[in-house]
Structures are given as structure tokens and as C-alpha cells.
Amino acid sequence: MKIKNALISVYHKDGLDRILSLLKQHDINILSTGGTQRYIESQGHTVQAVEDITGYPSILDGRVKTLHPGVFGGILARRTEDHLEQLTEHQIVPIDLVIVDLYPFVKTVAESADHQQIIEKIDIGGISLIRAAAKNYESVLVISSQSQYRDLETLLQSGAETSSDQRLSYARKAFLESTRQDLAIIDYLDSQIGDREEFRLGVAGRTELRYGENPHQEASFYGDMSEIMTQLHGKAISYNNLVDIDAAIRLMAEFWQDDPTAAILKHTNSCGVAQRDDLVTAWKDALAGDPVSAFGGIFIVNKPVDLATAQAMNKIFFEVVIAPDYDDDALDVLKTKKNRIILHLHEHKMASTSYKQILNGVIVQKYDQKVETKEGITLATRAKAKKRELDDLLFASICAKHLKSNTIALVKHKQLIGMGCGQTSRVDALKQAIQKAKGFGFKCKGAVMASDAFFPFADCVEIAHKAGIRAVIQPGGSIRDRDSIEYCDKHEMAMYLTGTRHFKH
């Protein structure tokens, strides 16, 4: 299908100049209106005003410009004898190319609280042009976003004709653009009403992954990872890598503004976390928490990686390292392993809502963003924790929050020395944590314990006491809380209640 007439109505003009030159080169007639028309004329190109075709000026503050049979007839007409005769009868020009870039509704919602300004960014004419052109893809090529300008430029460099497959491909993209716009509008209106009756999620950008959780499972990622991080080195990121990376970033977000902190994760669970005055010491102490599980794990830190830290990390095998930055010499060391994935983490805003497909539907919840503070916890026992122990309790509470339930975290001097997670019994989780701590040479005396949920019986504090633990933090809420509190009082243990459960499944 040869392009003879093009209608252009865009918000973003950057990149349009090269397309205009190619349209002129192919003697393609240009139709436009409003700001786009003025821009085209400023570039020295001849343009026919839409108002000359419709006989109506742009009205209602620009809300109505192109909505007219003189425009939409030219877009929707099939190139059949019957339709072409009707176009001739009504003096309508057939339009072969429609270039539209919609108002930036999503950007406006993100940057403005002005309801009227946001409503004005709901595109009516542009979306109508996109849908009309996409419907008639057998005859019309539609460009529906600034992101497609470069593709159109490449296409026009090879000539002024389009294939049916090309037009179908761009029609599909146009309906996707229309859908994303509609979803964004509905989400905004839902936020104004405070209600949401159906599940909707539109995420652009598909990346095929090597496989899913296992090699026989197909998998893809939808979204733009570059908004969160940049991959500096290594093999393609896998499904399991992504799940672990997400868990690592969410854990480290809790420590992002704190002293140098390092964490090691395996299958979304942290097997080592430590906070120190310098990064290399934090790394070494995080590794000491469980050097066995660290093999092949995910490493994350909250400060730029220096040479000493990189050299220490490089001594063991690991899949991924994540940091806010890297010194040049540190990066050279880390790049010595060809497949090692090195990620530069950007300043970003993590999603606040999680989704999971179960049965024949989807469950939706807000992420657990509750953080315990000294002011927000309640002392339940006669004995009080010392300052160091209180700091450790809050540190341990964060560690427990990011481990799979049932979980217990043991911390000493802001170092995770033992953890039990994913257990069907809280007692088993505690025994696992103590066993791990002792197995890697730690003494539990002087350590503190955090639990993600309440103790149904006094057995956990009894086991903890016998191991040398003297301070505990837990949500509380059991009908038998008194049993645990009385045991602590009898043995001079400190217990703090948070009032918040941190189950993680």
C-alpha cells in the first residue's frame, strides 16, 4: 500500500523533523492541526490544515479538532471501489498514514495533584484517530507513540510503501497504547472514588527469559528493568535471578540510609546480613553468618563497592551483585567472572502493591511496609533491653520480616548469626536458627531473637533462654502471651511486643 496522504497530530515533537523530511522526499501530502501544524510549518514544510477539510475551526479550547467525517472517513475507508466512490462524492481525501502521540496522562498524574489539569490530559481526538487507523490496518499505517518515530523513519528510508504485515503489527501496538491509556485513566478515577471493582494490570515491555523456575518452564518478564537497575556485566538475568533480586532490593531498602550494610540471599531468604562502619567488614560479617548457603547467592550492599570489598567478594562464587555504584577498580575485579551479573541499582520507587495468580483469579495486597521503631514497640517484661540489645532487636525484626514464615532471626551486634525459615513449626524454626548459629561458630549468649508471629506457648522463649538469649521481640496477640511473659520475667529476659505480624509466604 503506497502512502500518499499522512495525518499528523502529536504531543511530543522531538524526532518528528527527520520524518517530515522523508515524507517530503516521497511527495507525501501532510495534514495537521493546532500545535503540530505550527511545528511542521516552522520546519519549512507545506501542510494542509485539517480545518480546511472539515470546514470547522478547532473549538472548545482545542477539545474538538479532528472529530469529523472529513477526517475519519479518510481513515476508515476501505480501498474498495464502493468506499472510494463515496470518498470522491463527499470530497474526502483517503489517509494512508496516521501519526499520533497522545497527551502524557500518566506523567501528569505522577507530577500533578490538579484534578482539572489531569482530566484535560485525557486524549479524545488522538485516541480516536489511533483506533480508527488501527481498525483499518488493511489500508492505513498507524504510528501511535513517539517511541515508534525511529521505526517509521527506518521504514520510510526504504520507500513509501507498507506491507500488510507491517500495518497489522503497528495496529496491534496502537490498540496496546489505547489500552494502557484507558487503564491509566480508570486507575486514576478509581483513586478518586476510592474503589476498585475488578483487577486490571497493563505492563508494557516483554523480555523473554531463558526459562522459568525450572528449565522445562517457559517464562517472560513484563516491565522496564532499566527504571530500577542497569546491568553492567554478565549473562542474561533468569526468572529465579529476578525473584531473588526483588527480594534483595526490598530487604536492603530497609537499610538504604543506614551505615554500610551487606546482605546475602538464597531463594529469596537472607542467609547473611551485617551492618558495620565500613563495607568490607559488613560484607565479611554477612558472609560469616552462613558461608555455605552464600555459594551461588545474591549479594547486595547499600554503599558503593570499593576495591577491598570487591576483592573479598571475588573469593567465592556468586550469581548476582547489586550496589548503588562501583569504583572502577572494583568493577574490574568483579568482571573477571564472565557470567557474573553485576547490577547498578538506581534511585527508584518500588511497587507498593503485589499480585499473585491463584485458582481461577488473582489476589492483591499492599506490600508489608511496616517498620518497627523504638517508640512503636512495647516493653512487656520487668527486664529492659540494653541500648545495644534494643538496636539488635530492631535489626532482627527487619531480618525476620523478610524471611519466609515460620521464621526466627537471631542477631548479635547487628549481624544475623542464625535464622530458621519456612518451617511449619515456630519451635523448629528456632531450633534451626540456634543450630545454624552454633554450626558456624557463634555463641548465642548475648544474642537477641525476633519472631515474625506470636508465640502460642512459652516453649520458644524457654529454648531461647537455655541457648543464652536474653532479649526477644515478637508481635504478641496470643491468648497465652502471659505464659511467655511470665517465663521471661522469671528468668530476667526482656520481651518487646510490636503489635504487627510479619507473615511471608
Known catalytic residues? 135, 267
- SS3 string, 86-117, reads HHHHCCCCCCCEEEEECCCHHHHHHHCCCHHH
Return phi, psi of residue 355, to 5°. Answer: -130, 145
Q: In 136-163, which ranges are continuous DSSP H helix?
A: 149-157
Do the beta carbons of residue 251 and residue 265 sit within 8 Å?
A: yes
C-alpha cell at 33: 492541526
**DSSP conformational letter for 33:** -
Which one-letter DSSP state was computed for residue 404?
Answer: P
Concatenate the DSSP letters of all residues of 178-201 into one string: HHHHHHHHHHHHHHHHT---S---
* Cα distance between residue 16 and residue 45, in whole Å: 12
Instruction: Measure CA of the first residue to CA of the last residue in the chain; give whole Å.
Output: 55
d(CA 372, CA 423): 23
Residue for cell digits 527486664?
383
Contact 385, 473 (CB under 8 A): no
Peptide bond into 406 cis (omega under 30): yes
Q: Could you tell me the three cell numbers for 215? A: 528449565
Contact present, 245 and 223 (Cβ < 8 Å): no
Q: How many CA atoms lie less than 13 Å away from 250 in the CB half-sphere?
A: 24
Contacts of 169 (CB under 8 A, 6+ apart): none
| CB of 455 closer than 8 Å to CB of 484 | yes
